[in-house]
Structure 1
Amino acid sequence: MRRAGLVVAEGLQAMQDAAVVGMTTAELDEVGREVLRRAGASSNFLGYGAEYGTPFNGVACISVNEELVHGMPGSRVLDEGDVVSVDFGAVVGGWHGDAARTFILGTGAAEDETLIEVTRGSMWAGIAATRDGGRVNDVSRAIEDFVLAQPRRYGTLREYTGHGIGTEMHMEPDVPNYARRRPTPRLGVGMTICIEPMLTLGLHQTSICEDDWTVVSRDGSRGAHWEHTVAITPKGLWVLTAPDGGEAELTARGVDFGPLGD
């Protein structure tokens, strides 16, 4: 999974670096495809959902502005100031990696920049709350508390959550971005989960576009999405999709960094 995670990290950086005004989201998706080809990895996104209806047509979900998650790559053209969320995955040796990031193309509005940083910060708050013997709700509450502590209100998507990951991309348990008033699964050594808050500048209600995939905000507000794949090891936490394994961010938060032969 660490090998898959490093491919994911490379792909996300490559797509962010390649994004320019005038490029279509399909062209940006091709950058991710090339990273997978070079690494000898396969995509866990391409063709996903075929058994339920419309298969996903890309190796990355590329969501722009009011598109919050699961953006289907296509003819949409990127423009100056766009808020671009890229969710990317890879499979190496049957094991999955999955992560997401949001960036602004060129110069953006201050409120968009803050939205991105708050979403990223809430993800790391959730990661820092992940521990052996804890519960999923510890992660969810940490994300929620971080968002609620901000000076302005943000919408937190409720229908879409983090998840377990391993030999499949989506596994138990679900990892919501808000606390629940009921018992939640216990966490333990050997578990790998994706922590992925999705926030908007407005309300949390969403709709799905005609492509059966792209999720947009009903009020037209912009959104941001951050995600990492995290492993609980006997020594601490290992962020499998971060190039440094999460060492810098974990250490800054007083959390044990626990790689296994990294």
Structure 2
Amino acid sequence: MVPLKTAEDLKSIRKAGRIIADCHKEIARRITPGVTTLEIDRFVERFMMERGAYPAQKGYKGYPYATCAAVNDVVCHGFPDSIPLMNGDIVTIDMVADVGGWKADSAWTYAIGTQTADTSRLLRIAKLALRRGIAEAVPGKRIGDIGFAIQNCAQQAGYRVVDLFTGHGIGRFIHEPPEILHRGSPGYGERLEAGMVITIEPIITEGRPAVQIERDGWTARTVDGSRSAQFEHTIAITEKGPVILTRS
């Protein structure tokens, strides 16, 4: 059963989402060559705690950090570390904030220092794929409509979707039904209803979508070493259309 959220529930999730949005704005100012992802992780935890939120990823199934930090060929769930970021790197910072038991989730990919044309294009298409998916998140549509829009956007630009990882429902728990695939066929899958709150979080890669999980049990890296980018929002499905809850 997919838990549907009330208007009051959405207000609570939005509080968590706005804290995340504000945190990403601060990260964008701080994440430069020489900064480490461990420094960013500590900043995020402090930022949330000072605003009455808790970094819900920390401790989730034993995960030890407040954020996931995916650098270059790491697609997701990378551990923050003390290696300085270098000019030309890209890094995705993923976080979940909990305010009063309600959660919101968002990831953003940052280009470090000078961007090449290839980097700019990868990030632009990854953002566009997310927007195309969000546009399909309306009552009466199906999960396959979201996935098809994302997959089609990526493939038309010459990229692939890393389909091992999916979006999900969110609210009282980080992961709730339904599962949101980032590939699919129009008209297939579970029907979307007003009151659903989901994450849409496609990972777009320059190469093959195959990944391997490292010995830490979390870090997912592309097998061929290709880079990937990910942009994620928490979305409320309403009769008036999709509402982004992780935006200021």
**Which residue of structure 2 lines up, in the alignment, with residue 28 of structure 1?**
40
**Which residue of structure 2 lines up, in the alignment, with residue 57 of structure 1?**
64
Higher relative contact order (CA 8 A, sep 6+): 2
Q: Aligned-pair RMSD on alpha carbons?
A: 1.4
Uncovered stretches (5+) of structure 2, i.e. residues with no partner = 1-12
Range with bigger deviation, 178-187 or 115-124: 178-187
The CA distance in 2 between the partners of 1:31 and 1:136, in whole Å, is 35
**Deviation sequence 1:131-151 (CA, Å, 0-9, x none):** 11111111111111211222x
Q: How many residues align?
A: 236
Given that 2:145 and 2:187 are in contact with CA atoms closer than 8 Å, whether structure 1 keeps it comes out as no
Q: Secondary structure at the match of 1:15?
A: helix
The CA distance in 2 between the partners of 1:81 and 1:66, in whole Å, is 13
Instruction: Specify the code of the residue in structure 2 equivalent to 1:233.
Output: T
Q: Secondary structure at the match of 2:69?
A: strand
**Which residue of structure 1 lines up, in the alignment, with residue 193 of structure 2?**
188
The CA distance in 2 between the partners of 1:19 and 1:133, in whole Å, is 40
**Which residue of structure 2 lines up, in the alignment, with residue 113 of structure 1?**
120
**Which residue of structure 1 lines up, in the alignment, with residue 166 of structure 2?**
161
* Aligned counterpart for 1:87 among listed residues 94, 112, 118: 94
Uncovered stretches (5+) of structure 1, i.e. residues with no partner = 50-54, 244-262
**Deviation sequence 1:203-226 (CA, Å, 0-9, x none):** 100011222111111101111011
**Deviation sequence 1:150-173 (CA, Å, 0-9, x none):** 2xx212111101111111111111
**Which residue of structure 2 lines up, in the alignment, with residue 230 of structure 1?**
235
Instruction: Specify the code of the residue in structure 1 equivalent to 2:36.
Output: T
Given that 1:11 and 1:88 are in contact with CA atoms closer than 8 Å, whether structure 2 keeps it comes out as no
Instruction: Specify the code of the residue in structure 2 equivalent to 1:101.
Output: W
Instruction: Specify the code of the residue in structure 2 equivalent to 1:63.
Output: A
Instruction: Specify the code of the residue in structure 1 equivalent to 2:99.
Output: V
For residue 109 of structure 1, report the CA deviation from its aligned partner. Answer: 1.9
The CA distance in 2 between the partners of 1:241 and 1:181, in whole Å, is 26
For residue 58 of structure 1, report the CA deviation from its aligned partner. Answer: 1.2
The CA distance in 1 between the partners of 2:188 and 2:150, in whole Å, is 17
**Which residue of structure 1 lines up, in the alignment, with residue 24 of structure 2?**
12
The CA distance in 2 between the partners of 1:76 and 1:45, in whole Å, is 21
* Aligned counterpart for 2:51 among listed residues 25, 36, 39: 39
For residue 183 of structure 1, report the CA deviation from its aligned partner. Answer: 4.0
Given that 1:83 and 1:102 are in contact with CA atoms closer than 8 Å, whether structure 2 keeps it comes out as yes
**Which residue of structure 1 lines up, in the alignment, with residue 144 of structure 2?**
137
Identity of aligned residues (%): 35
If the length of structure 2 is used for normalisation, what is the TM-score? 0.91
If the length of structure 1 is used for normalisation, what is the TM-score? 0.87
